[in-house]
Amino acid sequence: MHREVHSVVLLNTQMQSSNRRPEACFVLALWLIGSLLKAWAGSEPIVQWQAVSGGTGNDLLYGLEKTADGGFMVAGASSSTNSAKKTAANLGGLDFWVAKLNSNGVALWDKSFGGTGDDGAFVVRRTLDDGFVFGGYSASSTNGNKTSLSYGARDFWIVRLDKEGNKLWDRAYGGSRDDLLYTLQQTSDGGFICAGESSSVVSGNKTSAGFGGIDFWVVRLDANGQKMWDKSYGGTGDEACYSLQITSDGGFILAGNSSSGAEGSKSSPGFGGLDYWVVRLDANGNKLWDVTLGGTADDGFNSVSVVQTPDGGYLVGGDSSSDPSGSKLSENYGLDDYWVVKLDGNGVKIWEQSLGGTGSDYLTSLAQNSDGSYLLAGGSESPAGPTKTSASLGQVDLWLVCIDNNGQKLWDVAYGGTDEDGFYNAAVMATSDGGLLIGGDSSSGASGNKALPGLGGRDYWVLKLDLVTRPTLFAPIQTNIAQNGFGLLLQGQLDKSYVTEYSSDLMIWFPLTTNRLTISPTAINDSSAKSVSHRFYRARELP
């Protein structure tokens, strides 16, 4: 079945009687149409299901991942005993707590990992063999079901499972002080790259010297978790790496915050308080460049995320409390805003965008959507306005924002009850069926748009969203239509096929072109429009 959506109307007002050049009439009409279409573009998601998991204590969700069978893995930290909807026992303090959900959000199994101290998972990744790897920190000795030695106050801790949830191994990495793992990825050779923060000197199994109080610390592992190398990056202040991605050339991009100037291994100067700090490495961990982004207040206080964009650049996002100052040009709307920056492949800023209300809004997760747009997720304490259109539901809400590849907001929506939801730990990801998964912790009962009651102090709360991706035609400003024809931009879901059609009367439609989208938006040209006075366009998805 065809799904018909937006039509583009091209008008040539009074073309025959006007003294203005026909080109000018087209430009005026297209500017108006482009403004209308920008308002129509995108569609707020529909909630397919919600799931609440946890015991009667506190269960803090940090990580989401897709599984090979269409389900999901969730991970975080739990102080709950086996109670309510948690079947795994508590091993001491906080534990890594992981749960496998099916495609409808029903829990299939859950497991705890840790010792008698505090252990918390910040990230989960599916491995090449469809198993899982979890990363976070551990303050436990060799006890409980933790087999790796402790080196300091807290260590990087990684747990590797097969697809059935059986533990294959666990490894700790660190020195004599605090080392916290926030992010990891599996490399193409089956090994792992992980990053976080370290205040340790050379000690334990840490071999790289620090530069200041706390540094970015990156550890490269083989497939069995054996350390290949470790490297520190930073200045004489404090740095924490929250996000790491493997780049298209096999290198790495890191993002976090920094209070340092241009010193140590940091070559870019600071602007004030905390700044975003983005570091580009080659495959061996050698620094290629670094860039600092921020104003005179704190930027990236809670988290900073980074993804590589299809054009080889990078999108960086976090929270910002800075007014326009330093390298920040965009407005500050409240106490903290979502602040997103687009960089080219060399770290040069292309554009930036602030999003938020008059309270605190802190972005903690950034992902690319299947249609080429970007998803921003975090917590919001703001009412609606100035750039936030969704009303506040409670003390803190999960706040999900979708922007296009130029940083323009397509839609935003809040999820939550009357209490706190997504408190500094919201996560979002695109799903294989074209939908979205968003999650965080929740202390709300069934209220607001949260349909399920709470189980304990804080629970894992996950929502599966259906994103109706309507194909959208944009009319950019035209130049020399009489020679070049009329250009359009088609936005839709990647790997879907769409037919673009034209009409002179909105009654009879003729096919212009069929496109299977590999990039979104895709440029389309109607060379036959060179001599027409008006024409209508529409796009439809093909079955």
Q: How far apart are CA 140 and CA 10, in angstroms?
A: 67
Q: In this structure, are strands 155-161 and 132-138 parallel, antiparallel, or unpaired?
A: antiparallel
Q: Decide if 29 is inside a domain.
A: yes
Q: Decide if 483 is inside a domain.
A: yes
Average pLDDT over residues 201-208: 98
CA distances from 271 to 97, 315, 344 (A): 39, 20, 21
Q: How far apart are CA 494 and CA 180, in angstroms?
A: 36
Q: Decide if 123 is inside a domain.
A: no
Average pLDDT over residues 172-177: 98
Q: Decide if 203 is inside a domain.
A: no
Average pLDDT over residues 135-156: 97
* Total number of domains in the chain: 1
pLDDT 10s digits, 235-290: 999 999 999 999 999 999 999 999 999 999 999 999 999 999 999 999 999 999 99
Average pLDDT over residues 378-405: 96
pLDDT band at 7 (very low <50, low <70, confident <90, very high): very low
What is the structure's pLDDT at 43?
Answer: 61
Q: How far apart are CA 195 and CA 443, in angstroms?
A: 30
What is the radius of gyration, based on Cα positions, of the chain? 25
What are residue 433's phi and psi, to 5 degrees? -95, 15
pLDDT 10s digits, 19-57: 333 333 333 333 333 333 333 345 678 899 999 999 999
For the chain, the distance separating the N- and C-terminal CA atoms, rounded to the nearest angstrom, is 6
Owning domain of residue 495: 3-42+471-541
Q: How far apart are CA 423 and CA 305, in angstroms?
A: 17
Q: How far apart are CA 537 and CA 111, in angstroms?
A: 54
Q: Decide if 28 is inside a domain.
A: yes
The string over 28-37, giving b where at least 16 C-beta atoms fall within 10 Å of a residue's C-beta and e elsewhere, is ebbeebeeeb
- Whether pTM > 0.85 for this model: the answer is no
Q: How far apart are CA 118 and CA 111, in angstroms?
A: 16
What is the structure's pLDDT at 355?
Answer: 98
pLDDT band at 4 (very low <50, low <70, confident <90, very high): very low
What is the structure's pLDDT at 159?
Answer: 98
pLDDT averaged over every residue in the chain: 90
pLDDT 10s digits, 95-130: 999 999 999 999 999 999 999 999 999 999 999 999
- If one compares 203 and 468, the residue with the highest pLDDT of the two is 203
What is the structure's pLDDT at 41?
Answer: 41
Q: Decide if 477 is inside a domain.
A: yes
Count the alpha carbons within 13 Å of 21 in the hemisphere toward its beta carbon: 7
pLDDT 10s digits, 409-420: 999 999 999 999
Given phi > 0 = left and psi -120 to 50 = alpha, else beta, which region is 338? Answer: beta
Q: Decide if 436 is inside a domain.
A: no
Residues in contact with 231: Cβ distance below 8 Å, sequence separation at least 6, in sequence order = 208, 217, 218, 285
Average pLDDT over residues 192-206: 98
Whether 540 has a pLDDT exceeding 90, the answer reads: no
Q: Decide if 536 is inside a domain.
A: yes
